[in-house]
Amino acid sequence: MATNDMRELFNDILSMQGVKGVMIFAFAGDLVFQQFNHEPAEDPRTRDWSLFIESLAGNRETDLVFEKGRLYIRRTDIGYLVVLMGLFVPISMVRLNCDIVLPALKPAKPSKGIRRFFKK
């Protein structure tokens, strides 16, 4: 999926008041996509995320609350979606928007045989 398509896909999440950014990590810990409402103090690509992502193995959904913010983490077919936000963002709205986005994050399957001629 192209970067512009990804940006458009996450517009609803990023437009919520209090959401600071969205990142997608592959299961190996590689940063696949990042979009922030404000430039972060440090570029996330300079960090090794593999141990963090490895620690999420088996989790479908996680909400981490810290002193100054929250992380909502959701497993997808391509890796983990991480939403960075303030403390008072309604998690139910974030969940709903992630539910809407998840089908678009499925890896494309190549058509096999004669089926490729009968696409919808």
Mean pLDDT of the chain: 87
- Which pLDDT tens digit goes with each residue over 38-89? 888 788 888 888 898 999 988 999 999 999 999 999 999 999 999 999 999 9
Q: Which domains does the chain have, with CATH numbers?
A: 3-107 (3.30.450.30)
Of the candidates 111, 77, 73, the residue with the CA atom closest to the CA atom of residue 1: 77
Inform me whether the pLDDT recorded for 110 exceeds 70.
no
Q: Which tokens is 92 given?
A: 């139910």
C-alpha to C-alpha distance for 73 and 63, rounded to whole angstroms: 6
Here the tokens at position 58 are: 């088996």
pLDDT of residue 89: 94
Q: Record the tokens describing residue 75, joined without a space.
A: 């497993």
